[in-house]
Structure 1
């Protein structure tokens, strides 16, 4: 388990950072596969999607509610941005805050009712969707992004179920890694 966690953290740290300020650098992403691969190339999105699954498995009674709400809100944010070109105000700040919150939810193994967990995930996901919506073009890319998001949530759920009985320190370190990514974003490192 320790090797899996170290490998996951090393992967997150090794991925290149992507800015989501205007979407022009990624507007060519229009195929299903480019949409599916896109969430895997940014450590912010990757960490957030995995953290939702981990937190849901460790802390929520109905662990599928938060990942499904996250994916739904991500889709709504992406559709709005894709169809209107709307750039959400404070987009980067919202993504950074979502990472910090998700990291804390994992680290503290925060329990909450199913509806509150789903609402929290949905609120945190919207900015990620708005960022993707500016970067992708077309329904195929959007479908790929949603499929990839759900796959990352499933991987997070599997990891979270394995971590349920693990030492508190291990869970805290995993959550702290997502929160550290938020701090790195604030410092311009990621």
Structure 2
């Protein structure tokens, strides 16, 4: 699957399918809630007409994925070099250009602005030469943008905890926009 999005200024963004998740069930009580589901990397999924299951599908820009992978490999090499010398220095890693660039990549990766968008979703189906294409439009509000921007802080925290774990748990409550989708 791929998603091609155009904003008000005719800037075009190409996003590739990165992951999907589905919720099996949710238990809600006045004092707590629990969700049972799974999230996995995008490879393929099967969809049946008589047993539809709602799936949350995630997309990333090609540039973001490639640059993130490159920076993570460089940071991992820096850590391996420090392990080899027997002196792992957290401050040196956090002050490295690679780590700073990774954090900056997260900050700079948000494409969303208040306004209207048009999009084309291409779904490639096994055995078909041409993809199924669905064209649609949607709008985002200031509140939507604020919610989406809050995810940047969470993404950076998850990266930090993956390199520098501690006892504190991360509350990974991602905030999503749910705009009305209109078919074109």
Shared topology, TM-score over 0.5? no
Q: Higher relative CO (CA 8 A, sep ≥ 6), structure 1 or 2?
A: 1
- TM-score normalized by structure 1? 0.32
Q: Larger helix proportion, structure 1 or 2?
A: 1
Q: Indicate the structure with greater strand content.
A: 2
The structure with the larger Rg is: 2
TM (norm. structure 2) is 0.33
